[in-house]
């Protein structure tokens, strides 16, 4: 099926803007700045339109303009609270904005507190003390360390308990970390470092995945073969690269030397 | 200046170039590479398999362009899996950038499996309010999302008949990249309503969510692109559509390059230190 011209133009624009952003790896330049500013503007535009069509209009404006039921007048209250928020723009009446802000903070704090206590604290504390007898039964005969079950076993369960206690000791500042506490808190740091290392490894993986997504767009492999044949993504990437090189070259020739300093190291 | 000292002053753009090549080469010349499915993804797959055909599953599709390469493959494979099993799909989003990505995909997969909008699938769109919306859905789904993304009243959607709150769904699938996402779903409603939940999340979030899986708050977890690739393998997504499976090659070579760069950087640093007078 033939793609409409605007789909092809959109794909070419996406490739050009991707190359503009990648040009920052060479150094700050006008092509990058253009893409960066466009990104910020479009992002804000999307958020504003989604907020209007998804939230404000159906939940407030429509209900005020087409009231249904005897309690429809109650929607005036959130409208007034919204208007109060805008009083922050004035010095004389800015105190009014405290009312909706106080409501939002209190509601959010209440929701957070109950949720965290219920879902994060209670369940996790209960689970941090594993039933070693049950672990032994489920992992037998490799009950010490079972490779087939992601390292599950009595050893890893004990490591969880010891690691948790040592991490808590590290953050316990009411007594000096001397004697046995010193060793426990030192082990707690090691456990924390291992967890930071795991998080960093996952972060690297995430960043490579993002780069992979962009590369797929640049070579046209994020589309069906039929669409890719119409878009000619590799050609668009090549042309975009040439355009950006010309832009950077022209900028370096025209701008005064201090404005074109590019970090070479 | 010896070669070790020269490595210390290597232009960072050479590293960028080599990193770029380590991503581009496996994309253009993929190597046949096998991988194992881990227990978390296997359990996620089984949780979807246990949903009876004809019932309705809620997907919270909360990904945006920046997390698309990691999460869209899972979302696609999940739609494949659910539609193949004739499970109906209700989709919501809690991040504002999601509708532009989610809505066209639902349409494509709906057409591919000859599913009717409003009967077999529906997109209820984005709603601002973060955790408050999750909490509100737990109490009353119909008040929280009175209309679909297409503007149809929820009362006129056959797929929503009998759905009042979250506990009416036998399974909730979260495809989340940040906040609000999996954490907020688990914390706000999982324990309160005893909901069956599975999650696909970005690689960065995976270590944070593993405790939820270990504690049984999540029935399954697919972390980042490797998790999506494993799920694609279980679902049997055709090679041409399996974006994450193709990406495993890239991850392998990319990681190998980063490990090599860290090793070379450290060796050259310590070696040049020893040579200093």
Taking CB atoms and an 8 Å limit, are A50 and B96 in contact across chains? yes
* Ramachandran class of A32: left when φ > 0, alpha when ψ lies in -120 to 50, beta otherwise: alpha
Interface test with chain B among A205, A214, A216, A222, by most B beta carbons within 10 Å = A205
Chain B hits for A124, Cβ within 8 Å: 211, 215
Taking CB atoms and an 8 Å limit, are A199 and B204 in contact across chains? yes
Which candidate, B13, B261, B267, places its Cα nearest to that of A265?
B13
- Residue-level pLDDT at A107: 87
For residue A257, pLDDT over 80 is answered with no
A149-184 confidence digits (pLDDT tens):
777 788 888 998 999 999 999 999 998 989 999 999
Q: How far is residue A108's CA from residue B209's CA, in Å, rounded to a whole number?
A: 22
- Residue-level pLDDT at A195: 92
For residue A148, pLDDT over 90 is answered with no
- Residue-level pLDDT at B277: 62
Taking CB atoms and an 8 Å limit, are B187 and A118 in contact across chains? yes
Taking CB atoms and an 8 Å limit, are B128 and A54 in contact across chains? yes
Q: How far is residue B244's CA from residue B72's CA, in Å, rounded to a whole number?
A: 9
Is B126 in a helix, a strand, or coil?
A: strand
Q: How far is residue B143's CA from residue A40's CA, in Å, rounded to a whole number?
A: 33
C-alpha dihedral sign at B67, B73, B74, B78: positive
Chain B residue closest to A223 (CA)? B241
**Which string of DSSP letters, residue by residue, matches B240-270?**
TT-HHHHHHHHHHHHHHHHHHHHHHHHHHHH
What would the mean pLDDT of A214-220 be, rounded to a whole number?
92
- Residue window 89-148, chain B: list those with CB within 8 Å of chain A: 96-97, 99-100, 125-129, 131-132, 135, 146-147
Which candidate, B203, B262, B181, B208, places its Cα nearest to that of B73?
B203
Taking CB atoms and an 8 Å limit, are B254 and A211 in contact across chains? yes
For residue A60, pLDDT over 60 is answered with yes
What would the mean pLDDT of A173-201 be, rounded to a whole number?
93
- B12–A contact, CB cutoff 8 A: yes
Q: How far is residue B82's CA from residue B100's CA, in Å, rounded to a whole number?
A: 21
Compute how many other C-beta atoms are within 10 angstroms of the C-beta atom of residue B2. Answer: 10
- Residue-level pLDDT at A261: 54
* Bridge partners for A146 per DSSP: A152
Q: How far is residue B183's CA from residue B63's CA, in Å, rounded to a whole number?
A: 14
Q: How far is residue A59's CA from residue B127's CA, in Å, rounded to a whole number?
A: 10
Do residues B74 and B228 lie in contact, with contact meaning Cβ atoms separated by under 8 Å? yes
Chain B hits for A122, Cβ within 8 Å: 191
Q: What is the pLDDT along chain B (277 residues), one digit of tens a residue?
A: 577 777 888 888 999 999 999 999 999 988 877 888 999 999 999 999 999 999 999 999 999 988 999 999 999 999 999 999 999 999 999 998 899 899 999 999 999 999 999 999 999 999 888 888 999 999 999 989 988 999 899 999 999 999 999 999 999 999 999 889 999 999 999 988 999 999 999 999 999 999 999 899 999 999 999 999 999 999 999 887 888 998 888 999 999 999 999 999 998 888 887 766 6
Interface test with chain A among B204, B205, B240, B247, by most A beta carbons within 10 Å = B204
């Amino acid at each position: 099926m033939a793609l409409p011209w605007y789909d092809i133009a959109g794909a070419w624009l996406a490739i050009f803007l991707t190359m503009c952003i990648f040009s920052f790896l060479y150094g700050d330049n006008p092509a990058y700045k253009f893409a960066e500013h466009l990104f910020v503007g479009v992002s804000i535009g999307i958020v504003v339109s989604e907020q209007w069509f998804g939230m404000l209009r159906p939940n407030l404006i429509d209900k005020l303009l087409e009231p249904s039921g005897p309690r429809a007048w109650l929607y005036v209250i959130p409208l007034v609270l919204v208007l109060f928020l805008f009083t922050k723009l004035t010095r004389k009446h800015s105190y009014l904005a405290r009312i909706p802000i106080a409501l939002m903070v209190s509601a959010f704090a209440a929701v957070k507190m109950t949720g965290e206590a219920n879902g994060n604290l209670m369940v996790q504390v209960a689970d941090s003390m594993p039933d070693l007898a049950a672990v032994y039964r489920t992992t037998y005969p490799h009950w010490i360390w079972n490779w087939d079950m992601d390292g599950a076993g009595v050893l890893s369960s004990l490591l969880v308990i010891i690691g948790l206690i040592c991490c808590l000791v590290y953050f316990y500042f009411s007594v000096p970390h001397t004697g046995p506490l010193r060793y426990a808190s030192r082990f707690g740091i090691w456990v924390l470092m291992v967890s930071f290392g795991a998080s960093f490894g996952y972060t690297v993986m995430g960043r490579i995945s993002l780069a992979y997504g962009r590369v797929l767009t640049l070579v046209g492999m994020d589309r069906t073969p039929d669409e890719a044949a119409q878009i000619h993504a590799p050609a668009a990437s090549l042309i975009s690269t040439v355009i950006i090189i010309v832009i950077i070259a022209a900028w370096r020739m025209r701008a005064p030397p201090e404005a074109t300093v590019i970090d070479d190291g | 200046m010896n070669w070790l000292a020269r490595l210390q002053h290597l232009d960072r753009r050479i590293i960028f170039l080599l990193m770029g090549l380590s991503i581009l080469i496996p994309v253009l010349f993929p190597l046949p590479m096998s991988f194992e499915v881990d227990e978390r993804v296997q359990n996620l797959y089984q949780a979807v398999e246990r949903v009876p055909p004809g019932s309705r599953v809620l997907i919270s599709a909360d990904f945006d362009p920046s997390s698309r390469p990691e999460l869209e493959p899972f979302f696609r494979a999940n739609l494949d899996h659910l539609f193949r099993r004739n499970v109906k799909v209700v989709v919501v989003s809690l991040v504002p950038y999601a509708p532009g990505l989610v809505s066209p995909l639902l349409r494509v997969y709906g057409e591919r499996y000859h599913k009717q909008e409003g009967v077999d699938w529906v997109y209820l769109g984005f709603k601002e309010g973060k955790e408050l919306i999750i909490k509100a859905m737990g109490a009353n789904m119909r008040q929280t999302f009175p209309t679909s993304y297409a503007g149809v009243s929820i009362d006129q959607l056959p797929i929503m008949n009998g759905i009042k709150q979250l506990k009416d769904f036998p399974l909730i699938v979260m495809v989340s990249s940040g906040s609000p996402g999996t954490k907020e779903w688990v914390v706000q409603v999982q324990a309160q309503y005893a909901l069956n939940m599975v999650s696909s999340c970005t690689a960065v979030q995976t270590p944070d969510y593993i405790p939820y899986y270990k504690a049984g708050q999540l029935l399954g977890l697919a972390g980042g692109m490797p998790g999506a690739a494993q799920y694609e393998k279980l679902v049997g997504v055709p090679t041409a559509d399996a974006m994450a499976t193709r990406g495993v090659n890239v991850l392998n070579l990319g990681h190998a390059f980063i490990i090599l760069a860290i090793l070379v950087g450290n060796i050259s640093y310590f070696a040049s230190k020893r040579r200093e007078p």
